[in-house]
Amino acid sequence: MSFSVDEEEFMNNCKYNQGKDCPILRKKCCAGCKFAKSHKQYNSEISKTNKRLARLSAAEQMYISEKYYNGDAPWKNK
């Protein structure tokens, strides 16, 4: 499969592109990848997620931090 120059550049600059490996997919296959995103897109999504988490009650935040973040609450570090 051939990419346009823009598609190829985007895939080369994908947040998850680690050379020959991809931490999202078992086998690296960038063509049509639904998970591909730029660093800017990734950072924007993390920021939005952190804002949503910060609006939750203290009990909900504690539950999420313990279940998914090993007791850390990265949304509070900003």
Model confidence, pTM = 0.67
Residue 41 and residue 39: Cα distance in Å, rounded?
6
- Whether 30 and 46 map to the same domain: the answer is no
| 19 vs 78, higher pLDDT | 19
**Residue for token pair 């997620």:** 49
pLDDT value of residue 19: 79
| 33 vs 4, higher pLDDT | 33
Number of domains in the chain: 2
Q: In terms of residue numbers, what domain contains 55?
A: 39-78
Radius of gyration of the chain (CA): 16
Average per-residue pLDDT for the chain: 83
- Whether 43 and 72 map to the same domain: the answer is yes
Q: For residue range 43-77, what is the model confidence (pLDDT) as tens digits?
A: 999 999 999 999 999 999 999 999 999 999 999 87
- Whether 43 and 78 map to the same domain: the answer is yes
- Whether 23 and 51 map to the same domain: the answer is no
- Whether 33 and 47 map to the same domain: the answer is no
- Whether 31 and 43 map to the same domain: the answer is no
- Whether 6 and 29 map to the same domain: the answer is yes
